[in-house]
Structures are given as C-alpha cells and as structure tokens.
Structure 1
C-alpha cells in the first residue's frame, strides 16, 4: 500500500490547520480561540500545530498573508515604460481591490480590530509582522517613482501618493463595510470605483506632457 510523500502530508496538515484557524477566529475572535481548539478542528495534534506555527499570533499573521497573496495573484508591481500608465494602474489596483473586498479577509480584519481594542500591543505586533512581508503602499510607491523618473508622473512624495490612491479604494470598498456593515460593492460598482480612482489619480499626478497624450 503506497502512502503520500511526507512533504505532501505536511502540506495537507498545514492547510487543514489554516482552514480550521480561519473558522475559529471568525466564530470566537482572537482571544476566544486557542491552539487546542484549532488542533481539534483540524484533527491534528496540538504539537503538530506548534510545529507549523510557533504561536497564535504567528498563525493569525500567516492567514492574513495568505489571503493577501491570493488576492494579489500574479500581478507584479513593475513599471513598464512601454505600457499606458492607466492600463498599468488599473491592473495593479485591481489586485488591491480584490483583497479589500475579500469576505474572508474582512472577517479577519474585524478580528484584528477587535483585538486592538482589548490588547493594543498584541494587535500592533500583528500589523507590524504583516507589514514586514507585505509591500503594500511601498510597492506601489516604487512603481510611482519609476514613472516619475520616466517623466510620466510629476515629482511628488511617492509614498504619500500611493497612500492617496489606495485611500480612494478603501474609502468606498473597505472602511464602510468594515466599520459600518455596509454591503459589499457589486462587480459593476467595483469596476466604476477602480476606473474613477485611477482617473482621479492620473488627473492630478500625470505630468503635463503625459496629460497631453494617451496615458
């Protein structure tokens, strides 16, 4: 009787742990979820859980990272001088929009926000750990700097500009849903938001020469 290679078995156990943890965090919150509960839900030993994730904080950060990676897809923040700016920005920001409208991600962000109210130091550590791995605004800022060096975007603080662009998306498709329980945007609404946000950004940041041509 053949058995699965150890690496594949390990991967399956890790996936089971993550799936169980997501369900537990959603239902019980961060404080109400224990590694024992996660082990039981994943049908693995507690030792196996700790072999994969040294702490509950690490496990929570890993889940956020996996969701972010899934939403980001294969899109890479690399500036292409041969492509129109608008086309590039639409592709780049579409990945961000997929993330912030992902129901699983929103649920876990709610858990993190709730934890911030009860244990701000622990919540801050989660955010910092996630920030070490996720380039977020910094990656977009690098793209903006490259476009500035190419003369297609006007000189400005690239990181601040990246914050502004992402805030246009979050102000409609993330914060209202997270803080006020508003319904998720429809596909048509997401498309309109994406196009309007990129157009607003380019109307301000595109260089005069670029505005006079096809961006």
Structure 2
C-alpha cells in the first residue's frame, strides 16, 4: 500500500514546490523576467518536471491566480434570502470581496498580471478567461433581490459593477497602481458599510 501511494505523494510535493517557487519568482521578478528555468531552479526540480505539470508559463501563472482566488473565497457562497434583511446579506457579500483584496500575495500577483497583460489584450483575455467569472455571485444575488421586488434595477450586472467599483476604488486600485498598503480592519469595515449603504440608498425599494 505504501509503495503504491508514494509516487502520488511525491508528485504532489513537487507540484506544491513548483507553485510556491513560481509565486516567489513572479512576485519578485515580475512576469516577463520569470522563466520556467528560474521556477525549476527555485523549486529544486528539473525544467521537464515543471512542464509536466504546467504546459506553459501562462498556464502556470493563471493557475496561481485561480488558486489564490479560490483560497480567498473559501467561505460558502452567499445566496439571496427573502427572509433576511438586505443590508445584512449585502454586507456579507462585500466583506467577502474585501477579504480577497486583503491578501497581500493576491495583490502582488494582480499587479504583476496587470503589468503583463496591458501590452497584450489577447493575453489578458486568455489569462482571465481561465479564471472564470468569480464575481458572478454578487450579480446573481442582485438579480434575485430585484426579482423579489426588494431592489430597483433592470440591469443587475451594471448594479454589481457599480458596487464593485466603489470597493475597488479603496481596496484594489490604490494598492495596484500607487503601491498603497492594504486596508486595515477598521478601514475595511468603513468601506464595506459605506459602500453597502450607498448602494442600498440608490437601489433599495424598501
């Protein structure tokens, strides 16, 4: 039994080492300067081993972003409930978003990703398409609340983008473009509550 499972554990350890090394290399050197050779050397594995796990640097980087996103959104997805106050539900959704943006590794890699894709729209589309639409949960919630007559909007996607814009204006873009520190707990609380209240002041029908 031990002999049969050992190769799988070794493969998993190598994959984990590759991902850890890649995160370090991308954060320190940037996207263009990071090569599969550098990742292999940092992970202590052969270049062939890296390629066995990830066919390309683009695939490796996209996997890292996906992993960070999923780890940060580990809490159960919140669904709309007609028996709960709107503010309490929406505040939880906004706080989930802010929790993701509190991850320093995610912010660092998002900065690297944006720098890498700005010169290449094709690369941007490919990279972020692999990540999927991870903000759809908020749009689904808004659509359900509107269908229930508790929100006034005929365009849930637009309403969702407006709310996300308020949040990212404090907790994402200043950190990405200006190198500002991530928000403190008190600042996150202030942004979450203010953005929620401003959104409901316009869209709530209650």
Q: Deviations over 1:3-40 (max 9, x none)?
A: 65433332222211111000011111111111111112
Offset of residue 134 of structure 1: 3.4
Q: Which stretch shifts more, 5-14 or 168-177?
A: 5-14
For normalisation by structure 1, the TM-score amounts to 0.88
Offset of residue 117 of structure 1: 4.2
Q: Does 1:129 align with 2:127?
A: no
Structure 1: how far apart are the matches of 2:112 and 2:45? Answer: 24
Give structure 1 stretches of 5+ with no counterpart: 211-215
Structure 1: how far apart are the matches of 2:183 and 2:88? Answer: 22
Q: Deviations over 1:32-55 (max 9, x none)?
A: 111111112112222221222111
Q: Does 1:51 align with 2:88?
A: no
Offset of residue 118 of structure 1: 4.3
Q: Give the corresponding residue for 1:83.
A: 84
RMSD: 1.9
Q: Give the corresponding residue for 2:175.
A: 177
Note the 1:149-188 alignment, pairs <5 A.
149-188=147-186
Structure 2: how far apart are the matches of 1:46 and 1:195? Answer: 48
Structure 2: how far apart are the matches of 1:182 and 1:28? Answer: 19
Q: Give the corresponding residue for 1:17.
A: 18
Give structure 2 stretches of 5+ with no counterpart: none
Offset of residue 128 of structure 1: 2.8
Q: Which stretch shifts more, 111-120 or 64-73?
A: 111-120
For normalisation by structure 2, the TM-score amounts to 0.91
Structure 2: how far apart are the matches of 1:143 and 1:128? Answer: 22
Q: Deviations over 1:169-206 (max 9, x none)?
A: 10011111111122222111111111111111111111
Offset of residue 124 of structure 1: 3.6
Q: Does 1:70 align with 2:71?
A: yes
